[in-house]
A = this chain, B = another copy of it.
Amino acid sequence: MAERDFIARLLVPLAGSAAARGLADDAAVWTPPLGRQLVLTHDTLVCGTHYLPGDPPGDVAWKLLAVNLSDLAAMGARPAGVLLSLALSPAEDAAWREAFVAGLGRALAHFELALWGGDTVGGVGAAVLGITAIGHVEPGKALPRAGARPGDGLWVSGTIGDAGLGLAVARGAAPADAWLAKRYRLPQPRLALGQALVGVASAAMDVSDGLLIDAERLAAASGVALAIDLAAMPLSPAARARVGDGDAARLALATAGDDYELLFTAPADAAVATLAGAVPVTRIGTVVGGAGLQLRGHSGALALPQSLGWEH
């Protein structure tokens, strides 16, 4: 299918907003909401690196959108629209493209977002899929990574490590478990929580490369240390059933990527536990002076593992 047909037949139906101009112009045109700051991010998924060639194309589309919306969630932003960037290989045949676009349409509808524009090219060896997501936030209120202060509590949303176990399932390296595989393939950006944390959290980021490596990044950005109680790290029943509850298992789960939960800090007196809404949040530590991470588990102080997570 030529780019022209692909755009006309599959992508134009997703581009119903005025900003997209029917994908007929050189660029999208959007009136930003009055009195808001814009939040802009671009994240890329590479076939074979960030998803598996055999992953259902509709799930890949969900993930591509979700990882970008997760960045907006981490800033406390409300999403408004996206630009799509597809560099496709011969492996993304007509059936793949149809299924991908159908999944993207469902994902956009789920988040009440419009496709504003983008770019499709061919001729690559392995697909490189990108989205630019644009959202907005109350001026000056975007959640930074750099705001953690000693004495703040350290919190995380949802459960940690499911996606890493789900990746092993999807690879066929672990027994089937539909729920874990779904946690890997269909991450849930914590948009409502992120928006609720505006004015409450002192620092925030999303957990994409592993809880520990991302916590280290937050600590470095804030110029503080984080004392993390791994025994408090929330595990799903599925993860607990699969790997148990020992310190070694918890260390492995804390260094697995793709969770897309929110990691944030808040003053000790902030009413965090009551604001969360649909997704539970769990306190897992405390901001302290110094630099880096201090880990405890069931057995007391733990040494940092050699790798804290996924390095690109």
Q: Give me the interface of A with B, judged by CB distance under 8 Å.
A: 2-4, 21, 24-32, 37-44, 46, 48-50, 70-72, 74-75, 77, 83-85, 87, 116-126, 128, 130, 132-135, 137, 139, 142, 144-146, 205-206, 221, 311-312
Contacts and interface: CB of A to CB of B under 8 A. Distances in A.
14 contacts: A2-B312, A3-B312, A4-B312, A25-B205, A25-B221, A26-B145, A27-B41, A27-B77, A29-B40, A42-B42, A42-B85, A49-B122, A124-B125, A128-B128
Given A128-B87, A130-B119, A312-B3, A26 B46 contact: no
A118 B24 CA distance: 26
Contacts of A122: 49, 312
A42 B118 CA distance: 5
Contacts of A2: 311-312
> Lowest 7 CB-CB distances: which A-B pairs, in order?
A125-B125, A27-B41, A3-B312, A26-B74, A26-B71, A128-B128, A132-B132
A74 to B, nearest CB: 4
B144 A49 contact: no
Given A27-B133, A29-B137, A49-B121, 7 more contacts: A27-B39, A27-B72, A28-B39, A29-B37, A29-B38, A42-B117, A122-B312
Interface centre among A39, A74, A130 (most CB of B within 10 A): A130
Contact of A75 (B25, B48, B206, B312): B25
A145 B24 contact: yes
Nearest to A123: B49
A49 B21 CA distance: 28
A20 B38 CA distance: 12
Given A26-B145, A77-B27, A123 B46 contact: yes
Contacts of A70: 26
A63 to B, nearest CB: 14
Contact of A44 (B32, B72, B119): B119
A201 B192 CA distance: 44
A248 B38 CA distance: 50
A145 B221 CA distance: 45
A71 B37 CA distance: 24
